[in-house]
Amino acid sequence: MINPVADLRDRRGRQLREWRHHFHRYPELPFHEHATAAYIVEALESVGVTDIATRIGGTGVVATLRRGEGPGVVGLRADMDCLPLTEVGTRPHASRNPGAMHACGHDGHMTMVLGAAAVLASEAGFDGTVRFVFQPAEEPGRGARTMIDDGLFTRFPVDAIYGLHNAPGLPVGHFSTRSGPILGSEDNFEIRVIGRGGHSSMPDRVVDPLVISAEIVTALQTVVARNVPSGEPAVLSCTELITDGSRNAIPHQVIIRGDTRSYTAEVSELLEKRIRALAEGIAHGHGATCEVTYTREFQPTVNDEACVESAVKAARSVFDDVDANCDRHMGSEDFGVFSREVPGCFAFIGNGVEPGRGGNALHSSDYDFNDDILERGVRYYVSLVRTLLQQPPAGG
């Protein structure tokens, strides 16, 4: 005898894998997610979600599903873009777009939100409105702001917004989040040291920007240790050193590039201030000039306490292990821009620990989203919506 519940679950599982593998085969770079957006629209319509707006912030998609008369509105967000990587491996659903790869799991994130839309459209079980928000350009940290500037929360208001990210290294069945800061900001800096170049055999006739830059790089290592308050986590990394010299020529200028990570605007401002002061002071002391550019690429992601409580309640009905007070991470996420505009909760779900079974690192050319966690992600989103938008009692 066929078990109708098991048969339905199997069919949904096959659909989830079909969607996820399609996204993985045809990844698209930030702000170029045109085919991805079209496929999302087609998938939403196929499951009965027809109130769909496109080209929000360029290629973003927002779908709305209403049931009952409840006033509550919940947003579920998924990121759409991929990374400029060439995939390695022989998996059947490997990228067919050279130089583009879903190496961060956005293919799985989109699929889980689509799966939630399918369940909620067919089974309801909630009283209110759900917005399914598909965001472009998460990787460069530009898509969330572009959608907001295009009227996301004025045209499609929500009471709160929720997002998930897969986490290689955490076991399948694990869910983690926390109130307050959960992910850091990312600020970029570029220091251009301008000296006077010349022949390497006559260093007394030059102002060597390479030596000056080396001193600046070393001095910057004191900023976190000696300027940032000891209770405030921060990271400062110099990641590139570029010169216009050659083997026998002392360069005219050197460019130092790097980034910083922190959780508060005050620490971000302190990092910028100290980078400028040290770089300019050291350059001036050696008779060189210095230009510092400092940009804020990603906002810190800060979770709302009430949203976390709702997320944890929903997660405990789905996951084996729920950590409601996980460690903060210094990685960055464009979701932080959303959570500054409306209350939100960002959480992580285990992708697996073994290489080849979900354990390969994010942003690596051999990464792959673990299909075994798709169903849990869908169930979490469905449980979350039903927790937040509860139906009135029968006969009430």
Distance CA 149, CA 392 (A): 36
- C-alpha to C-alpha distances, 234 to 181, 222, 359, nearest whole angstrom: 13, 12, 27
- Over residues 53-99, the pLDDT tens digits come to 999 999 999 999 999 999 999 999 999 999 999 999 899 999 999 99
Neighbours of 264 (CB within 10 A): 16
Taking the mean position of all CA atoms in its chain, how far away is CA 28?
16
- Over residues 110-125, the pLDDT tens digits come to 999 999 999 999 999 9
Phi/psi class of residue 133: alpha, beta or left (left: φ > 0; alpha: ψ in -120 to 50)? beta
- Mean pLDDT of all residues in 244-271: 95
Specify the pLDDT at position 391.
80
Count of CA atoms in the C-beta half-sphere (13 A) of 382: 21
* Residue in this structure with the two tokens 């910028």, named with its chain if needed: 272
Q: What is the CATH number of domain 4-181+300-388?
A: 3.40.630.10
Specify the pLDDT at position 310.
98
Specify the pLDDT at position 352.
97
Specify the pLDDT at position 6.
60
**122: which 2 tokens?**
């067919």
- Over residues 7-41, the pLDDT tens digits come to 667 888 899 999 999 999 999 999 999 999 999 99
Specify the pLDDT at position 3.
60
Q: Is the pLDDT of residue 4 over 80?
A: no
Q: Is the pLDDT of residue 276 over 60?
A: yes
Asked if 194 and 289 count as a contact pair (C-beta separation under 8 A), the reply is yes
Please give the mean pLDDT across all residues of the chain: 96
CATH 3.40.630.10 residue ranges of the chain are 4-181+300-388
Specify the pLDDT at position 395.
57
CATH 3.30.70.360 residue ranges of the chain are 185-298
Distance CA 33, CA 17 (A): 20
As assigned by CATH, the class of the 185-298 domain is alpha beta
- Among 130, 77, 26, 57, which Cα is nearest to 377's? 77
